[in-house]
Amino acid sequence: MKFVAFHLMPYRELPADFEQSYPSVWVTPPKELYDPRKGHRMYHDYLDELEFAVDLGYDAVGVNEHHSNAYGLMPSPNLMGSILSGGSVETYDG
Closest of 24, 5, 4 to residue 14, by C-alpha:
24
Residue 92 domain flag:
no
pTM: 0.81
Query: What pLDDT, in 10s, does the model give residues 24-63?
Result: 888 888 999 999 999 999 999 999 999 999 999 999 998 8
Residue 93 domain flag:
no
- Looking at the structure of the chain, the number of domains it has is 1
At 24 the three-state DSSP class reads coil
Residue 24 domain flag:
yes
Full domain range(s) for residue 23? 4-85
Maximum pairwise Cα distance, the chain: 43
Question: β-strands 4-6, 60-62: how paired?
Answer: parallel
Closest of 57, 56, 59, 51 to residue 7, by C-alpha:
51
Residue 90 domain flag:
no
